[in-house]
Amino acid sequence: MSKIYIKYMTDEAVETLKANPDVVTAKLIENPDNALWLQSFFPGQLWVTKKYEIEEFSLLEPKDDKDRDADLANSILLYERLRHLPLYVLTDERFWCWINFEIGYRAALKYMPVKKGSSIFKDHWLLTQGKRRGLFFGVLSRCYFRVALSVDESLADPYELTKFVIYNPLRFRELTWRSFSSEKSIVLGTLKAEKRVLAEYPQLEENAKHYADIAKHLSKLGSVMLLDCMTEKDIEEYIYKKFKAEVEAELANRGLLQRIKDAVSAAFRK
């Protein structure tokens, strides 16, 4: 496998993209196969080569934005090729501009199709949401960080929780908006708890509220400074009990409502 040096997009080129989101969106729509148009759009220096090397790779092109199999394969590949890079590189907008436009251009457009009149390019190709939030909004940066925070070498399949996350991103998305999600032990403990509860209650229909509530439970712990002294197992047990209680209450309430509906229907039939 050949090696390549990583690159950063120049500051001037990034600022030009930010200043012209509508024009760039149109260019992305007109050029779905490659980013050769960038050179004429910004005739100055586009890239700066850095000292770090990575193994050369290319991403699968997803069938559409719901292609979870390609999402999983690409996310793991990004992680495996980039994980040895320093964190200051992996959190740099200029680095992800290179990944988006040079390495994963076609895949990025399939994951996040841009539309005229929308803010998709600005929100998901650039870190306009702020660095931390922007990395989890980023069309390909979020793929990397979902794996980095869910991979667990203690499991027989280190990517077991990664698969759990990618096949339903709701299970992780609410955590990413909170600063505590940068702590891997908190993420792993939470995901393991969610997985245990869902295995016990396969009839549960997952929804965003479940995971918003879990994030709120963790935020309450953080507000009284308990998160700092809790282990991954502590987190797992805490979230397991909270999530399980909510699921049991929801399923019990659903059963009661169904019994009421059945009784009303029977009364009308008489």
Q: What's the CA dihedral at 104, 106, 110, 115 to 10 degrees?
A: 110
Q: Are 53 and 5 contacting, i.e. CB atoms less than 8 angstroms apart?
A: yes
Return the domain boundaries, the chain.
Answer: 1-148, 153-270
Q: Are 131 and 93 contacting, i.e. CB atoms less than 8 angstroms apart?
A: yes
Q: Are 101 and 56 contacting, i.e. CB atoms less than 8 angstroms apart?
A: no
The CA distance from 49 to 60, in Å, is 25
Q: Are 9 and 46 contacting, i.e. CB atoms less than 8 angstroms apart?
A: yes
Instruction: Say what the pTM is.
Output: 0.86
Show pLDDT as tens, one digit a residue, over the chain (270 residues).
Answer: 699 999 999 999 999 999 999 999 999 999 999 999 999 999 899 999 999 999 999 999 998 878 999 999 999 999 999 999 999 999 999 999 999 999 999 999 998 889 999 999 999 999 887 777 889 989 999 999 999 999 999 999 999 999 999 999 999 988 888 877 778 899 999 999 999 999 999 888 899 999 999 988 888 886 655 676 688 998 899 899 999 899 888 888 877 556 655 555 655 555
What does residue 71 show for φ and ψ, rounded to 5 degrees? -60, -45
